[in-house]
Amino acid sequence: MNDLELYFNRVMPVIGRQLEGKRIAFFNLELTHLIADAFARCGVRDMLFIDSAKTVDQGPFVLSYGRQYANRNIGQAIAQQIINHNQLIADWRHEQVEKLEAEQAKSLDLIVAAGNIADYHELARFDVPMVFFLMLSGVPVNSLVLVKHPELPDPSSALDSIRSENVLTSTDIGYRLTWLDASDLAMNFAKALLLRGSPYERHDLEDLMFGQGRNLVLRGQAKWPWWIHYVNPELKLDYIQRVMEQRYFVPQPPINILQDKRVMVIGCGTASLMIGELINFCRSLFLVDPKSFSAFNPVRQLLGTDAVGQAKPKALIKHLTDKIGNKAGEFQTSDLKVSDRDPHSLEQFEATLDSWQPDLVVVATGRTYDDNYAICELLRRRGIKHVVPTAFPGATHYKNIVVDGHEGPCYECIRGNTSLDYADGVDLNAEAREMFYTDVDDPTQPATIFETWPSSHSLLRLSMELLLDPTLRSEWFTSCLAEERTCFVGANLTQKTDGGAYAYGVTCPGQMVVYGMDELIRVDQDSYTCPTCRRSYSVRHKINTEGS
């Protein structure tokens, strides 16, 4: 394999070369830049940046890529970012225009746009499929994402039911998680549109949108940030109008107080995406990873091809320092490989914990469960809050287990013990299966950044909630912890299993469900005491083997 083949290796089983040759236009890059970035990482070289002459301000673009882009022309800034990230491709075709003309529109496969409704109508005049999203405030729903396509219901009237004062134009950092969620959903719809009719077609979205005509999605509520409702914008116009008429005030979480929190991340591969976001909120980071960046990594991690060969933690710190500039962060790194099979590494890890005293540890080694158990046990003993993110095969689904220090279920209480662990998974294609199962101890994920961004952003949201003092947390998070439901499972893709149920209990893409100790399953036991934390639970789902 040459360098470029190595770069695309992990995404090949998921999209093949299907997106190469597509031409996509992006409008309002302050809000759509991550989608352009994601498509570039999937082989799309041909992009048209509309309204490219706008200047990058201190908004979402700078929070994504760093202050070095501030005050630059945004079309050139995104082009530069894409070129910097993947220096193996020489023939990027990035065209900058201030306004889309009919002649140019004919060459497009897709328009990706965001922002305000007048812009939607302006772009909808062209006969080009479009994915559009906007963020809302003052109504009960956080954002709206839609697909405009000649075969789908017309969303225009639904959009017109939204009052302009409820369309969020502020780019305040307090809305960053809302924006990331909407952007993630929009990019997955955009990818699905371009994969229609190919071997990589998204059957779930195809059915929801083209089968059922539910091409408008309402996303996020105060009571559940991952609330999602796929709606037919013509048949359910009344419903959408009623939602948009309601007045609703959502208090913003007190994110400023996160600045002084200390976060340790163990395993800086996929978690690098979360680290790149976390630096916008927390300034003290300790990054632990024994590995160097490989040629396979840039396609869905934070750093680009120029970081290949460098030690992960050190290269990340340099990147973060450049990104936030003189707003100094406090950074520490370690190349320790914390492993259950190496008692000395555990001792060193304990010493590091005791000297640095993190407020939160993200356990993202991606390695065997034994290592996670060993690390989590040491954290639990010290009452240090932690999150363990993992992805299911193909990253179709992802899971974050949250442990609130000494409180509630620990990692060992929940991991392997709920109905989730007995559920059927998703069918992967042969190529994806082979990639994932070649090394079961250290599996290689066949996935694109379209899958890893949503998982990273859910990890970010949960980490931020966990970092807050209990009285300052969101109600939904407090309820989950109180009910001992601490295993959050999200889906990029949904599929019915042979038994007829949806894989892992998630019924539509973008949804998040929660598993907890009320789902505890044991074989031949009425009660269960966790060997790590000594908490006892009564068993609700008992599997009897006696007499069978």
Residues forming contacts to Zn ion in the complex (CB under 5 A) are: 410, 412-413, 530, 532-533
Q: Which is nearer to Zn ion, 205 or 533 (CB)?
A: 533
Q: Which residues lie across from 330 on neighbouring strands?
A: 284
Q: Is 326 exposed, middle or buried (0-12, 13-18, 19+ CB in 10 A)?
A: exposed
- Of all helices (H) and strands (E), which one includes residue 477? helix 475-482
Q: Residue 272 CB, nearest distance to Zn ion (Å)? A: 29
Q: How far is the CB of 266 from Zn ion (least distance, A)?
A: 19
* Opening angle at CA 338, ends 298 and 346, nearest 5: 165
Strand partners, 46: 23, 93
Minimum gap (Å) between residue 363 Cβ and Zn ion: 15
Which of 399, 397, 395, 494 lies closest to 445 in space, CA to CA?
A: 395
Of 196, 182, 160, the residue nearest 228 (C-alpha): 182
Separation between Cα atoms, residue 497 and residue 503, nearest integer Å: 6
Output the smallest distance, CB 519 to Zn ion, in A. Answer: 15
For Zn ion, the closer CB: 108 or 410? 410
Give 162 or 533: the residue with its C-beta nearer to Zn ion.
Answer: 533
DSSP string, 444-468: PP---HHHHHHHHHHHHHHHHHHHS
Find tokens 């796929």 and name the residue: 230
The minimum distance between CB 369 and Zn ion, in angstroms, equals: 14
Please, which residue, 248 or 537, has the CB nearer to Zn ion?
537
Distance CA(428)–CA(443), nearest Å, equals 14
Q: What 3-state DSSP class applies to 58?
A: coil
DSSP 42: T
Residue among 11, 423, 380, 290 nearest 388 (CA): 380
- Residue 346 is given by DSSP the state H
What secondary structure letter does DSSP report for 127?
Answer: S
How far apart, in whole angstroms, are the C-alpha atoms of residue 391 and residue 393?
A: 7
Q: List the alpha helices (DSSP H) in 327-401.
A: 343-356, 369-382
Pick the closest to residue 69 from 34, 92, 60, 41 (CA basis). Answer: 60
410 vs 260, 360, 384, CA distance in Å?
A: 25, 14, 11
Residues 155/233, Cβ–Cβ less than 8 Å: yes
Token pair of 469 as six digits: 């003092």
Which is closer to Zn ion, CB of 47 or CB of 533?
Answer: 533
**42/403 with CB nearer Zn ion:** 403
73 vs 419 by CB, closer to Zn ion: 419
Closest approach, Cβ 520 to Zn ion, in A, equals 11
| Residue whose beta carbon is closest to Zn ion | 530
Distance CA 446, CA 87 (A): 22
Indicate the residue among 201 and 483 with the shorter CB distance to Zn ion. Answer: 483
The smaller minimum CB distance to Zn ion, of residues 34 and 379, is found at 379
As given in the structure block, the two tokens for residue 502 are 């949806």
User: Which residue's CB is nearer to Zn ion, number 174 or number 383?
Assistant: 383
How far is the first Cα of the chain from the last one, in angstroms, to the nearest whole number?
A: 53
Q: Which two tokens stand for residue 303?
A: 């750093």
Indicate the residue among 217 and 413 with the shorter CB distance to Zn ion: 413
CB 534 to Zn ion: min, Å? 7
How far apart are alpha carbons 364 and 100 in whole angstroms?
Answer: 43
- Shortest distance (Å) from residue 533 CB to Zn ion: 3
**Least distance in angstroms from the C-beta of 531 to Zn ion:** 8
CA–CA separation, 183 and 457 (whole Å) = 11
* Sign of the alpha-carbon dihedral angle for 255, 259, 264, 266: positive
Give the β-pairing of 527-529 and 143-148: unpaired
CB of 535 to Zn ion, least distance (A): 5
With beta carbons less than 8 A apart as the criterion, state whether 83 and 92 touch. yes
